[in-house]
Structure 1
């Protein structure tokens, strides 16, 4: 199926219609040439120049095959341009590097590239750049965190044998036809495949990457509107400058500083003091006064954010379903979203987000409803401990709501909670290594606008962010089977029903409990920057930001 053209069009069809077109394999642009609609700043007459700084946390990686978290992904979005991008307002897909992505059977896909793309080192971007990058990430000995995303490509199993070293380094399902064309054979039909290739894991790589991946991680070379300036200065910052040979609309600013903060409150202080231009997230502690303090610089926009409390099923006593249910019913989501998030977040009673097809308002039912008396009965009947640990990263403004959860658990269950608060990178590593010992903060921002991205990536047995140990529970096999059926279903309504069945099984097993769906709550200095757009993935559209006084 061809997904539109390479131009950003205004007044396009809504996401649900575009997804219908995707699932139905109807070639469509999902758009028109009407002059009305939201101006994203992508059609400005030319770069405005100047420099600005945006806050991030310390990334875990700066390699596409290993970047799973938002801080690294924010940087990579300036350094890379994907095959497919998404409208910042509607998440509608449109082709960029890809000229077309087509299939007659939803299983065998042909991807044709537009001409004229190069990497920042001057080398040509070709079909081989994608095939080599995808093979590297899928090759088990490389240990890429995004390995899972290639699991539905023919030959993936050969690169990931159950025992021993792989006998090949290339997936049989990837074939280079010519410099601008390659073919992808999937193990089974998946009508949503064109949406997935907009994700970080599917970025192309230059030949220089394979000479020294570790060195590349410190100074990535991409094909995006900005190129890295120097190297990643860990725990301090990452600087990028405009790539002058970029074939699409160039970035507005001459340079961008991604300034790394260990404490989001420090970032907010710098913003209000005029020492920072854009903050990626406003701390919960100042949400009440932020609209007044930031004025027109306060941003509240729709987001695909899904917050949850994960349970380490590999650790006693969290292997007991009843204790997980008790925790879930002891949390007053409405009280927290009202008091702490000022009503901007909404209590979650499902896994699938309201911004994608398949959302159900009461999927979790009573188990995600505040019922302290029932929670106490379950806790006591199943010998719940007197003390637990609550885990979260300490660089994202999570202390206040975790404190509220701790107080609610004490009041409802009589349990004392101690905090295990860590830097984000360390927190993620402990999740990967199954070394978390208590309920922990989890959050998800969609990689692509599809219900499968919530169900499969977080909860499938081999999901990229399935860190609960859920694969050991009997229900996990049912979930995997339903996901497989849904992926192959060409009819959107039928596919959604299957994803919802999988969601029902997950909520019955409760490897995590939904907490809330969020909005982007960010800020910028309206005296220094304009055209600041946060998309539904919660990312700043860096290339579109305009520096208001570039000569200052």
Structure 2
């Protein structure tokens, strides 16, 4: 039966308007994986968002925390935290308890998954315990008011006891068991797709989702022709047409992906911030975004991208603005000589080489591009391209990681970050994070380049289509 349904999705030739009531057809790329603590692409993030319910939802722009699987998250001193859980169950029928989280987090902390750093570097808990089935206690090694934001991270989603016992991650990724609004109806089939069904009835909302894994351009065209309900990615070749083809039926949202140019402070030529600012202002970010990055990113306006930025900036930062004349003038104020090698990693060559061409042309300095080893963020002996995939919507994670990656140490910055961390989620902490960010922009150990964004387009029969920053389309909210 599942194979028949799946073939019906892949080979669908009927219009979306003639599709089954309550059944949503969705096109997306094959996810790199469906293990919550090891997500590597937006397809995986969206599917995990449908299969799991997080402890809380967190909106970085406003600081709003919405309890979900948690009933409450509280602390009197920002050091000792208590999480009270609602009564929920995994899709296999077993209860989700405090021990479910505790055991999962121990596995994640010991693993080498992308989300492992949430526990070991961001949360830095000195002690986590489960005094009863509905209570988690977290004791930290310093005051950290961003705990609610961190609890929204996919890496902290719970796994069933049977999975933790077997450690068969390959089998689990093909047929994951979550605690969310939808459950898998059969395994995920790479190259084809899969099917999700809603756990509890929700009037007017999609009761079943049939996913087609494939080419985004083909999926876009199928939504336009009426044979698919929703395409979760819009390639560069369709980006301009999207605003005409789907004027009122498209969405864009911030992705947890950012790019920077990092400077080796060990190179004496880059000790002067004037040099670093000159290199930053020689980069035409808009040309990169609309050219080799194929309209999948926005030119950076600050260190913090929209998905984790507290509050709003009044405008783009000075070193984020392309001004070749000013860049050359700045470099002329200091003694600087080439040659310079800019290092890039796997997957960065397509936009890294044009970036180097811009710097060479704007500064009239001999600059070459060179691919380094397998580690994409491992510096060479010159400036290097730095890409980050964020695990949490907290400003702390990115600011701390960037300083560490660039080898930047400053007592004033460390004190600002600590003050922001201990202020809790509030207007005060948002302002302090911005001040810490402004110090990074002043000293500029890394120059912001771009931040990723996602796109989706949908058929006229769908309503209430919304996108969540960093995660993507919220399938549970869609009316069919």
Specify if TM > 0.5. Answer: yes
Residues 175/231 of structure 1: CA separation in 2 closer, same or farther (3 Å cut): same
CA contact (8 A) 2:52 2:180 kept: yes
Partners of 2:435 and 2:60 lie apart in 1 by 30
- For 2:85 and 2:324, locate their aligned partners in 1 and report how far apart those are by CA, in whole Å: 56
Spell out, residue by residue over 1:518-539, the C-alpha distance to the aligned partner (whole angstroms, 9 max, x if none): 7654312335x44322223360
Aligned match of 1:431:
376
**C-alpha spacing 1:302/1:281, structure 2 compared with 1 (3 Å):** same
The answer to which of 303-312 and 189-198 deviates more is 303-312
1:205 to 156, 159, 166: 159
CA distance in 2, matches of 1:373, 1:278: 45
Q: How does 1:357-368 map to 2 (within 5 A)?
A: 357-361=310-314, 364-365=317-318, 367-368=319-320
Which residue is 2:12 aligned to?
none
Whole-angstrom CA distance in 2 between matches of 1:268 and 1:53? 10
Q: Could you state the TM-score of these two structures normalised by the residue count of structure 1?
A: 0.68
Which structure is higher in strand share?
A: 2
Of residues 458, 464, 472 in structure 2, which corresponds to 1:539?
Answer: 472
In 1, Cα distance between equivalents of 2:294 and 2:108 = 41
**Is the 8 Å Cα contact of residues 307 and 442 (structure 1) preserved in structure 2?**
yes
Shift in Å, 1:347: 4.8
Q: Distance in 2 between matches of 1:318 and 1:522?
A: 45
**1:242 counterpart residue number:** 197
Matches of 2:60 and 2:122, distance apart in 1? 29
| Other-structure match for 1:459 | 402
Distance 2:264 2:136 in 1: 41
Task: Quote how far apart the aligned CAs of 1:376 are.
Answer: 4.1
1:24 match: none
Aligned residues: 454
Map Cα deviations across residues 347-405 of structure 1 (whole Å, 9 max, x no partner): 5342234674354446742x3332313434639954444775666749xxx96x77874
Aligned to 1:126: 97
Per-residue CA deviation, residues 1-21 of structure 1 (Å, 9 max, x unaligned), is: xxxxxxxxxxxxxxxxxxxxx
In structure 1, the partner of 2:141 is 187
With over 3 angstroms needed to count, the CA separation of the structure-2 counterparts of 1:339 and 1:288, relative to structure 1, is farther
Structure 2 alignment gaps of length 5 or more: 1-19
1:227 to 183, 199, 208: 183
Aligned to 1:431, what secondary structure does the other structure show?
A: coil
Contact 2:232 2:473 in 1 (8 A): yes
Other-structure match for 2:11: none
Q: Contact 1:310/1:440 (CA < 8 Å) preserved in 2?
A: yes
Residues 331 and 370 in structure 1, CA contact (< 8 A), matched pair in contact too? yes
Counterpart-to-counterpart distance in 1, 2:422 and 2:385: 33
Equivalent of residue 408 in structure 2, options 473, 486, 508: 473
| Aligned pairs for 1:21-420 within 5 A | 49-56=22-29, 58-59=31-32, 61-67=33-39, 69-86=41-58, 92-115=64-87, 117-139=88-110, 142-151=111-120, 173-210=127-164, 211-215=166-170, 216-234=172-190, 236-244=191-199, 246=200, 252-257=206-211, 259-261=213-215, 264-274=216-226, 276-299=228-251, 301=252, 303=254, 307-311=258-262, 313=264, 324-333=276-285, 347-353=299-305, 356-361=309-314, 364-365=317-318, 367-376=319-328, 378=331, 382-385=336-339, 393=347, 405=355, 408-409=358-359, 411-413=361-363
Q: Which moved more, 1:212-221 or 1:121-130?
A: 212-221
- Higher relative contact order (CA closer than 8 Å, sequence separation 6+): 2
CA spacing shift, 1:293–1:501, aligned 2, 3 Å: closer
Q: Residues 455, 416 of structure 1: CA spacing in aligned structure 2 closer, same or farther, 3 A cutoff? A: closer
Structure 1's unaligned 5+ residue stretches are 1-46, 157-170, 421-426, 462-468, 548-552
Q: CA RMSD in A?
A: 4.4
Question: How has the CA–CA distance of structure 1 residues 334 and 217 changed in structure 2, closer, same or farther, with 3 Å as cutoff?
Answer: closer
Q: Mean Cα displacement is larger for which, 276-285 or 179-188?
A: 276-285
Relative distance call for 1:474 and 1:386 in structure 2 (3 A) is closer
Contact kept? 2:260, 2:446, Cα under 8 Å: yes
